[in-house]
Structure 1
Amino acid sequence: MTLSYWEIKSWLTNVDYTIVGSGIVGLNCALQLKKRFPKASILILEKGTLPQGASTKNAGFACFGSLSEIIDDLKTHSEEDVLNLVKKRRAGLQKLRTTLGDKSIDYQQWGGYELFSENTSLFETCLNQKDAVNALLRPIFKTDVFSLKGDTFGFKNIKEQYCFNQFEGQIDTGRMMEALLQKVLSNGIKILNNVSVTNFLEDVNSVKVETSQFSFSTCKLLIATNGFASALAIPEVKPARAQVLITKPIKGLHIKGTFHLDEGYYYFRNIDNRILFGGGRNLDFKAEETTELSQTALVQNRLERLLKTTILPNIPFEVEHRWSGIMGVGAQKKPVLKQISNHVFCGVRLGGMGVAIGSLVGEELANLIT
């Protein structure tokens, strides 16, 4: 790609900070850098027309983990680590709401429900450990988080009791990203879309950034690509595709709140009188360890079958849209926030909790700059 003098001068000269990725982390990183260094030149590079990973593709759950997810985390993390994870997610959600305002993101705290299949022992496990988890989380929430509720939604083929989380909320993902983008642009931060970073080379005082369109130099490079981080030599992160579908509007849809099923591997909600339903990567973890934004018959057929047999029994529906997002996961749930070299930093591996912790991770990434 041949650039004009004006393009090089205005966009790619004297760049202080370059951020790779215009999702929740990248945009919040840019805002924090601008707050700390008001006169700095900040450039964000985005490989997609819109944020390519999960920031504009997630289900809009303002959550910090279902009961079964937290119990599962306790198998591989210490109680202190799990408490810190939940604390970080809680603080991140509060930061998101403070930064953008509840109205602009359509935040609604209607609570979250965990459903349990009839043929699983998971319900008994959660029932037995509910009080212990509530006690663990009480320093954060000052009261019990999880309680039991009876069925009021008419779901089928699941236990009649649900685990209810009074603190769970939901947002409009599109409105959140619109508001965040507007805030970034209004602060004089530049964004270039459809530009993929292919390599970077560091010298004593700067980093040469090579992209699919051009090359340029920047003083500092900050990587916020989450699920795509392994392509930029960050091995602690693996991609995890999340497939989603949404129905056409359903008249009189009575479902309200956010819903988790099968340890959070399935999730659904009502948005604009439609059911948004996603998940299923546990059907084939290896196949879903990909950065391909496509869908598979295995997962999509399973989602439709659960809609028919469990979520919308005896209610006719039509699927209108299908899409995928790419999360960043790893052996640990803690985000990877580190200085890679003298002038290169990263904030990645959000573990499917981007809405919850993205704002905070972005701020912490910016604060790695001394």
Structure 2
Amino acid sequence: MNLSYWEMKSWLTNVDFTIVGSGIVGLNCALSLKSRFPKANILILERGILPQGASTKNAGFACFGSLSEVLEDLKTHSEQDVLDLVKKRVEGLNLLRQILGDGAIDYHQLGGYELFTKSNASLFEACISNQKAINTLLFPIFKAQIFHLKDNTFHFKKINNRVIFNPFEGQLDTGRMMAALLRKAQTEGIKILNNVSVEAFSEDRNAVKVKTHLFTFSTSKLLIATNGFASTLNIKEVHPARAQVLITTPIKNFHIKGTFHMDRGYYYFRNIDDRILFGGGRHLDFKTEETMEFEETERIQNTLEDLLKTVIIPGVPFEIEHRWSGIMGIGQQKKAIVKALGDHVYCGVRLGGMGVAIGSLVGQELAGLLD
């Protein structure tokens, strides 16, 4: 692609900081850098028309882990590691709300519910037997008992008569959140180029040469915030994980409000505009879902529909209006990777499906790596 003199001069010359990815992490990183270095020339490169990956495709859960998820994490992480994970998620959500305001992101703290199928009584029993210990573990963060037993008052079928309630969980409008972040970045004079894929980069003593599928240019510092696509830039600790979602048309006399988790968080649904947004099922086929392709599969979509019909809203007529998928970044550990990759290259990736919760914090931490 042959760029004009004006294009090169205005967008790709004397670039101080280039950020790869205009999602939650990338935009917060740019805003933090602009606050610290007001005169800096900051450029964000985005592979999609809109922020690609998961930032505009997530379910809008302002959450930090259900009881069964916390128990699952304790199998591979220490108690201190799990405590730190939850603390960062809470701090990240508070930071996001502080930066944008609850009105701008349509935030509502309606509480979160964990459901257990009657066929999975062992998981329910494990959660109940560990409820007190987990509440004690997390008490320093919330200064309250976080997980409580409640009756199943939502008329769910094939579900245990008791559910686990968490009053601190909330929900937000993902589209409004990202639109507000983009407006804030543009107001600060941060440049964003969409439909530009970074293919490679190389360092010399004073700068980084960045090769995209359209052009090559130099930048003083390069910050990678691509999360699920991090492996394309040789960050091997991160693997892509696709999450599939569907949403219904508006449902008459809709009564379900809150955020809901099933099967260790692998299924999740919520209310939005008198509809049900339902996602998950990655555990049905881990291998196929370790992909960067934005597609939906019959197996997972059919399972989500069947659960809607038989468990969540049995006997209630509904239609599926839309289906989509997003790409998360996961790894063997859930702690995000925020580190230097060279003298002038840094990364903030592997958000582990908690991008809404920790993305703002990771973005600030990524910017903080620069002196």
TM-score, with length taken from structure 2: 0.99
Q: Mapping of 1:142-181 within 5 angstroms?
A: 142-181=143-182
Aligned residue for 1:242?
A: 243
- Aligned residue identity for 2:38: P
Question: Is residue 209 from structure 1 mapped to residue 210 from structure 2 by the alignment?
Answer: yes
Q: Mapping of 1:54-203 within 5 angstroms?
A: 54-120=54-120, 121-203=122-204
- Describe the SS at the equivalent of 1:229: helix
d(CA) in 1 for partners of 2:313, 2:141: 35
d(CA) in 2 for partners of 1:195, 1:299: 31
d(CA) in 2 for partners of 1:8, 1:22: 21
- Aligned residue identity for 1:15: V
d(CA) in 2 for partners of 1:240, 1:253: 32
d(CA) in 1 for partners of 2:250, 2:185: 33
d(CA) in 2 for partners of 1:212, 1:298: 34
1:303 deviation in Å? 0.3
1:103 deviation in Å? 0.3
- Describe the SS at the equivalent of 2:136: helix
1:46 deviation in Å? 0.1
Q: Mapping of 1:1-370 within 5 angstroms?
A: 1-120=1-120, 121-370=122-371
Structure 1 residue ranges, 4+ long, deviating more than 2 angstroms after superposition: none
1:42 deviation in Å? 0.2
1:5 deviation in Å? 0.5
1:152 deviation in Å? 1.0
d(CA) in 2 for partners of 1:252, 1:205: 62
- Describe the SS at the equivalent of 2:199: strand
d(CA) in 2 for partners of 1:352, 1:181: 21
1:88 deviation in Å? 0.4
- Aligned residue identity for 1:188: G
d(CA) in 2 for partners of 1:335, 1:282: 21
1:276 deviation in Å? 0.3
- Aligned residue identity for 1:3: L
d(CA) in 2 for partners of 1:360, 1:49: 25
d(CA) in 2 for partners of 1:244, 1:151: 24
d(CA) in 2 for partners of 1:329, 1:158: 30
- Give CA deviations for 1:101-126 in whole Å, capped at 9, x if unaligned: 00000000000000001111100000
- Give CA deviations for 1:303-328 in whole Å, capped at 9, x if unaligned: 00000000010000000100000000
- Aligned residue identity for 2:81: D
- Aligned residue identity for 1:37: F
d(CA) in 2 for partners of 1:159, 1:69: 18
- Aligned residue identity for 2:35: K
d(CA) in 2 for partners of 1:212, 1:360: 30
- Aligned residue identity for 1:190: K
- Aligned residue identity for 1:26: G
1:151 deviation in Å? 1.1
- Aligned residue identity for 1:300: Q
Which ranges of structure 1 fall in alignment gaps of 5 or more residues? none
- Describe the SS at the equivalent of 2:179: helix
d(CA) in 1 for partners of 2:36, 2:256: 44
- Give CA deviations for 1:112-145 in whole Å, capped at 9, x if unaligned: 0000011111000000000000000000100100
d(CA) in 1 for partners of 2:144, 2:126: 21
- Give CA deviations for 1:17-63 in whole Å, capped at 9, x if unaligned: 00000000000000000011110000000000001100000000000
d(CA) in 1 for partners of 2:276, 2:188: 36
d(CA) in 1 for partners of 2:363, 2:54: 15
d(CA) in 1 for partners of 2:239, 2:161: 36
d(CA) in 1 for partners of 2:52, 2:2: 25
1:364 deviation in Å? 0.1
TM-score, with length taken from structure 1: 1.00
1:2 deviation in Å? 1.1
1:201 deviation in Å? 1.0
- Describe the SS at the equivalent of 1:342: coil
- Aligned residue identity for 2:250: P
d(CA) in 2 for partners of 1:270, 1:111: 12
- Describe the SS at the equivalent of 1:327: strand
d(CA) in 1 for partners of 2:242, 2:161: 31
- Aligned residue identity for 2:271: N
